[in-house]
Structure 1
Amino acid sequence: MSTTTPLRTRFRTRAAAGLTALVVPLAAMVGLASPAQAATSATASYTKASDWGTGFEGKWTVKNTGTTTLSTWTVEWDFPAGTAVTSAWDADVTNSGNHWTAKNKSWGGNLAPGASVSFGFNGTGTGSPSGCKLNGGSCDGGSVPGDTPPTAPGTPSASTITDTSVKLSWTAATDDKGVKNYDVLRDGAKVATVTTPSYTDTGLSAGTDYSYSVQARDTADQTGPVSGARAVRTTGGGTDPGPGPGDQVKLGYFTEWGIYGRNYHVKNLDTSGSAAKITHINYSFGNVQGGKCTMGDSFAAIDKAYTADQSVDGKADTWDQPLRGNFNQLRKLKAKYPHIKVLWSFGGWTWSGGFTEAVKNPAAFADSCYKLVEDPRWADVFDGIDLDWEYPNACGLSCDTSGPAAFKNMMQAMRGKFGTNNLVTAAITADASAGGKIDATDYAGAAAYSDWYNVMTYDFFGAWAAKGPTAPHSPLTSYAGIPQAGFNSAEAIAKLKAQGVPAKKLLLGIGFYGRGWTGVTQKEPGGTATGAAAGTYESGIEDYKVLKTKCPANGTVAGTAYAHCGTDWWSYDTPATIGSKMSWAKGQGLGGAFFWEFSGDTANGELVTAINNGLK
């Protein structure tokens, strides 16, 4: 597929560019009447809401944590040379050199106990604020000058689990001036504050999954890092409506940036009925930079606040909960559908260029990925890692010359770090042409360390060849007149098997979208065109949910559908062709199927239903 530009990352630059949130804890809780009372009255915390390279958006939040009304506030901080505020809103911001001062607007200073207010600004430079003061005292958020925050408590253990309760206990945290108490977090939200390292949570629902972690607070009210997460399932209750763990893999990609223009959220997996019919979700994509796994769009992943109507469980996010965004919604989805496992996928078409540097030190790369995926704030959300390198020792958006062993070395290091209790998978090429991308890499050797491969059996042909010939982008088999030998699913699977990859470690790929041309007069494949057909987000590409009515299928070739309407020519899979492909996959002894991606399906998930029914 050397000429293709997969849909898998086409929308990244539109939806996710520059959305990088960074919460920066600043100095300790202070009082407003005098510095001596500073530990109990108010907090000020800073967040970098987004960063677009040449500038950024910052946000301060002031909260009244005292028992009397706050009538006015002033936040002061220092920026390093080269970092500055260029415009601000909801506060009056001035500076003297690198020292910045923000005062409340006339309408924003009066805060009742427990109330908060935020103001924001655009800035230039790369620095972070320091030396924060709130009404003359230090700001809360994680550190008091000269005072070390407490350590993380141990991961909670669970005992005496009933239909409605669970007893938790954990190893105590330490602090240079003493631990005051612990916040107990259930599914990321605080449910109790206790003074001893144990707590019994009650009022739970039978047969329900929960995730618990704890956080220590010292005598200055500083909070330390959150502990590891402990998953707990209460006894009793009904059964999970989804597929059992012994079923074939039915995996879908959830795109991080789909929450923007596409308005597709984790909740849609539930309301469409898809969550009950899949076994795995690949959350895409994390980036690969500087030899490490890094977060892609942190605002979408961990910071976006969901309202009650947008949330999986109908509960709104709060401003101060430890984890929000897609990760928290996935946590809620897993609580409702415990059979689902979630993997964090790294790379993709746009971000595969970083693998070349990363695989120079596979062990260090694997260590960085493990630390990110298993971060205590969201470790319970993920069940493993997926590596989407397009393509090892071959060319995609950029070319790699790491050698045929690089991919194997990477997967071996990942397995060594993530162990046998986590999934380690990869998306791989389906280019079965002679001397093509499958031939460039030791996929058989790497299979020993992989749970499975997502074979990208789509995007074989498309309107990057503007004048055609028209051809189905996801042919199951070859056919007379196919533009390129070896560009079909059957030959890709056959070549991987012949090289020694076990059939059960191969998943057949399905695209929930079509590729099309315009200026076409011929109904059958092989016609000439004048360019790419119009699409909602990009020329030459359209979701199945749109095409099924916009340009209904009126022919099939090589196991997939095509449609000629007006002068447009599209190819895409339908429930009927997916059913046939699933039968073929079972006949080949494959491990199951996967698809790119959820938002292309109809509101009632008819393509997911076809995969599920076809693999039963």
Structure 2
Amino acid sequence: MELQHSRAASNAGRRKRRTVVASLAALAVAGAGAFTALATSANAEEPEAGTTAVNGYRNVAYFTQWGVYGRDYQVKDIVDAGIADELTHINYAFGNIHHETLECFEANKAQGEGPNGSDGAGDAYADYGKSYTAAESVSGVADSWDQPLAGSFNQLKQLKEQNPDLKVMISLGGWTWSKNFSLAAATPESRANFVSSCVDQYIKGNLPVIDGRGGEGAAAGVFDGFDIDWEWPGSQNGAEGNHVDPENDAANFKALLAEFRSQLDAYGAQTGEHYELSAFLPANPEDIAAGGWNDPEIFDSLDFGNLQGYDLHGAWDADLTGHQGNLYPDPADPREPSRQFSIEESLAEYTGNGVDPAQLTLGMAMYGRGWTGATRSDAWGSATGAAPGTYEAGNEDYDILKNLGTEYFDEQVGAAWRYDGTQWWSLDTPQSVTQKARWIKDQGLSGAMWWELSGDETGDLPAVVAAEFGSGDPGPDPTDDPTDEPTDEPTDDPTGPPADDCTSAPWDAAAVYTGGDTASHGGHEWEARWWTQGETPGGADVWADLGACSGDPGPDPTGDPGTGDCPAAWTAGTAYTGGDEAEYGGHVWRAKWWTQGDTPGAGEWGPWEDLGAC
């Protein structure tokens, strides 16, 4: 089936591969309608590391629970690859939902006998039981036998200590462990209980004591929020045995996200922290519609969403090669239109329904999907079946594939592949991800996401994207330092410098504006920084104030003449609780709930209420 999101938890062994990190330099791009055969190796300079490499863009990567076994991929491997400071978020995959209590839980229990084998399964040993030697540890200090927190949780905590801007999220569900999401989300009571259990276990860090590890507060400070990976609400396209309620899942999913947002904000009001909430977003229009994923209102709860940009095709169609992560539609695709997919078309399912692209990242794969028995080098040729893979037929790591056969790239389709005369593999390469990174910037998306880190041990792909993000203008949603605002942000003077008479058409709430478009509103000229619809100029960061349309400051948008008595000015580093007031842009703003770093007036549904000019 297309768009399966299979994340096999195989523990089969493989020999560790450690090579020198070398990112590919700028490569020649194929001409229109053609593809280019590329050399299998190239000399390149390593991109600069550091927080400036992200430049306001997210660079999110999944770290798998099971990867510490057969794959022998530890948190320290992120440091060794030199990409720890080029990532903004690490999503730890996965947390499970208990089939009886419908709560987050920890256990040492292998996949069971029931449908899809998920009931009661968990790996507390990998999470916080496994001891690491000094050589294996991020900190260079060996775990002691009696410390309450060990395992990957402790290694991630050490990684955060070395990289204070890094956020670590616990990802719930995934392909195998989404079975009980529908039940946990079914009622207000079940939602509240489920979210409370997850906050208690992962954010407060109250782990059950298992084999001497865990205890109250043992994991406090490890996780900065949740990544919701429900595959898929309302749809039968998930794993066999999943509970699905086609009539109610979409509404319950939306309510579940709101419950997470509410409880995270409530706890954040006590700790002074903002806990993030993200989600893994489907690419298949059928799954998007079934779960209401493109409802803009769910992004009132989410900080951002990661759009699946891979698994668009695979060896479940055993006799037809083709692209698994093509950026654009391929006119050569011979399948019926309903079975043809592209990243561009998937993104349109969201932005065309009013979702702000600045709340989305594009997911890319650190693995390829492949076929054997292929008789030609270009896509959509015949094959005899799935190519052999280390852990799964038709699936192989980028590390192994990057030197197989000859590499090809088609700029017009936005896809790369490799062919050795028999095996044909669709995968992302430094050249294809460079094109996608530039497309991310052009579309106003907030960054990239990767599944998953052990497939690219040297960090070639995220390093290439971080280098591309590091050039040019900052991204739409900076995450490294919320106080480091772009230089073209509106100043505290809402009138701006004098300008000529308005030449732009009046702003229209129903109109769609893209980056560079201008509109007049409230006696000012405004320029859109990225795609927007329905966001009022002066009340959203998407609009840059070009100044008053004439020498006079123009009417105050609120019609309030002001009182002349302003409270203390708003600062991004200050935590405000409900009822607190601050001055910003010549207006008094009152916090509706706890907030820190959220600019007053930055969004219609933000935490600030405009009380008028002062």
Could you state the TM-score of these two structures normalised by the residue count of structure 1? Answer: 0.60
Structure 1: distance between partners of 2:287 and 2:3 = 13
1:273-288 → structure 2 map (5 Å cutoff)? 273-288=82-97
Which residue among 578, 585, 589 is the counterpart of 2:433? 578
1:225-240 → structure 2 map (5 Å cutoff)? none
Structure 2: distance between partners of 1:458 and 1:429 = 10
Describe the superposition over 1:228-286 as per-residue Cα deviations: whole angstroms up to 9, x where unpaired: xxxxxxxxxxxx94358972110000001100011100000001001011111001101
| 2:315 equivalent in structure 1 | 463
Letter in 2 for 1:359: A
Q: Tell me by how many angstroms 1:550 deviates.
A: 2.2
Q: Tell me by how many angstroms 1:11 deviates.
A: 2.3
Q: Tell me by how many angstroms 1:606 deviates.
A: 1.1
The answer to which structure, 1 or 2, has the higher relative contact order (CA under 8 A, 6+ apart) is 2
| 1:546 equivalent in structure 2 | 400
1:90-489 → structure 2 map (5 Å cutoff)? 241-243=50-52, 247-290=56-99, 291-295=102-106, 296-360=122-186, 361-374=190-203, 375=205, 376-395=217-236, 396-398=238-240, 400-401=244-245, 402-419=248-265, 421-432=274-285, 436-443=286-293, 444=295, 445-468=297-320, 470-482=321-333, 483=335, 484-485=337-338, 487-489=341-343
Q: Contact 1:244 / 1:339 at 8 angstroms: preserved in 2?
A: no
Q: Which has the higher strand share?
A: 1
Q: Tell me by how many angstroms 1:452 deviates.
A: 0.6
Q: Tell me by how many angstroms 1:481 deviates.
A: 3.0
Q: Contact 1:242 / 1:275 at 8 angstroms: preserved in 2?
A: no
- Bigger drift between 486-495 and 568-577 goes to 486-495
Q: Which runs of 5+ in 2 are unaligned?
A: 14-48, 107-121, 206-216, 269-273, 471-614
C-alpha distance 599-245 of structure 1, shift in aligned 2 (>3 A):
closer
* Aligned residue pairs, count: 385
Q: Tell me by how many angstroms 1:556 deviates.
A: 2.7
Structure 2: distance between partners of 1:403 and 1:606 = 39
C-alpha distance 13-5 of structure 1, shift in aligned 2 (>3 A):
farther
Structure 2: distance between partners of 1:332 and 1:284 = 18
Q: Contact 1:426 / 1:452 at 8 angstroms: preserved in 2?
A: yes
Q: Contact 1:575 / 1:607 at 8 angstroms: preserved in 2?
A: yes
Describe the superposition over 1:519-554 as per-residue Cα deviations: whole angstroms up to 9, x where unpaired: 110211111111100111111011111111123413
1:11 aligned onto 2:3: no
Q: Contact 2:160 / 2:166 at 8 angstroms: preserved in 1?
A: yes
Structure 2: distance between partners of 1:264 and 1:13 = 11
Structure 2: distance between partners of 1:245 and 1:578 = 15
Describe the superposition over 1:555-587 as per-residue Cα deviations: whole angstroms up to 9, x where unpaired: 436212012212111111111110110100111
Describe the superposition over 1:155-210 as per-residue Cα deviations: whole angstroms up to 9, x where unpaired: xxxxxxxxxxxxxxxxxxxxxxxxxxxxxxxxxxxxxxxxxxxxxxxxxxxxxxxx
Letter in 2 for 1:453: G
Q: Tell me by how many angstroms 1:364 deviates.
A: 1.6
Structure 2: distance between partners of 1:424 and 1:14 = 33
For the pair shown, the structure with the greater C-alpha radius of gyration is: 1
Q: Secondary structure at the match of 1:437?
A: helix
Q: Contact 2:11 / 2:71 at 8 angstroms: preserved in 1?
A: no
Describe the superposition over 1:127-159 as per-residue Cα deviations: whole angstroms up to 9, x where unpaired: xxxxxxxxxxxxxxxxxxxxxxxxxxxxxxxxx
Structure 2: distance between partners of 1:574 and 1:516 = 15
Q: Contact 1:343 / 1:386 at 8 angstroms: preserved in 2?
A: yes
Q: Secondary structure at the match of 2:327?
A: coil
Structure 2: distance between partners of 1:612 and 1:472 = 24
C-alpha distance 538-12 of structure 1, shift in aligned 2 (>3 A):
closer
Structure 2: distance between partners of 1:10 and 1:537 = 8
Q: Tell me by how many angstroms 1:403 deviates.
A: 3.3
Q: Tell me by how many angstroms 1:379 deviates.
A: 1.9
Q: Secondary structure at the match of 1:330?
A: helix
Q: Secondary structure at the match of 1:549?
A: coil
1:522 aligned onto 2:376: yes
User: Displaced runs of 4+ in structure 1, greater than 3 A?
Assistant: 2-5, 12-15, 240-246, 483-486
Q: Tell me by how many angstroms 1:353 deviates.
A: 1.0
Q: Contact 1:245 / 1:339 at 8 angstroms: preserved in 2?
A: no
Structure 2: distance between partners of 1:568 and 1:244 = 36
Structure 2: distance between partners of 1:339 and 1:244 = 13
Letter in 1 for 2:239: L
- Bigger drift between 269-278 and 370-379 goes to 370-379
Structure 1: distance between partners of 2:432 and 2:222 = 33
User: Root-mean-square deviation (CA), in Å?
Assistant: 1.9
Letter in 2 for 1:397: A
Structure 2: distance between partners of 1:615 and 1:244 = 6
Letter in 1 for 2:64: T
Q: Contact 1:452 / 1:506 at 8 angstroms: preserved in 2?
A: yes
Structure 1: distance between partners of 2:176 and 2:77 = 26
Q: Contact 1:460 / 1:487 at 8 angstroms: preserved in 2?
A: yes
1:562 aligned onto 2:417: yes
Describe the superposition over 1:488-514 as per-residue Cα deviations: whole angstroms up to 9, x where unpaired: 111111110112211111110100110
Q: Tell me by how many angstroms 1:425 deviates.
A: 0.9
Q: Secondary structure at the match of 2:168?
A: strand
Could you state the TM-score of these two structures normalised by the residue count of structure 2? Answer: 0.61
Q: Tell me by how many angstroms 1:611 deviates.
A: 1.5
Structure 2: distance between partners of 1:392 and 1:14 = 31
Structure 2: distance between partners of 1:338 and 1:519 = 49
C-alpha distance 3-365 of structure 1, shift in aligned 2 (>3 A):
same
Q: Tell me by how many angstroms 1:313 deviates.
A: 1.4
Q: Secondary structure at the match of 2:175?
A: helix
Q: Contact 2:103 / 2:198 at 8 angstroms: preserved in 1?
A: yes
Which residue among 347, 356, 371 is the counterpart of 1:493? 347
Letter in 1 for 2:315: A
Q: Secondary structure at the match of 2:431?
A: helix
Q: Which runs of 5+ in 1 are unaligned?
A: 16-239
Q: Secondary structure at the match of 1:373?
A: helix
1:587 aligned onto 2:454: no
Q: Secondary structure at the match of 1:352?
A: coil
Q: Tell me by how many angstroms 1:404 deviates.
A: 2.4
- Bigger drift between 266-275 and 493-502 goes to 493-502
Q: Contact 2:75 / 2:152 at 8 angstroms: preserved in 1?
A: yes
Structure 2: distance between partners of 1:481 and 1:439 = 27
| 1:190 equivalent in structure 2 | none
Identity %: 38
Q: Secondary structure at the match of 2:135?
A: helix
Letter in 2 for 1:5: Q
C-alpha distance 245-463 of structure 1, shift in aligned 2 (>3 A):
closer
Q: Secondary structure at the match of 1:439?
A: helix
C-alpha distance 567-500 of structure 1, shift in aligned 2 (>3 A):
same
Q: Contact 1:243 / 1:339 at 8 angstroms: preserved in 2?
A: no
Q: Contact 1:243 / 1:279 at 8 angstroms: preserved in 2?
A: no
Structure 2: distance between partners of 1:569 and 1:563 = 6
Q: Tell me by how many angstroms 1:600 deviates.
A: 1.0
Letter in 2 for 1:342: V
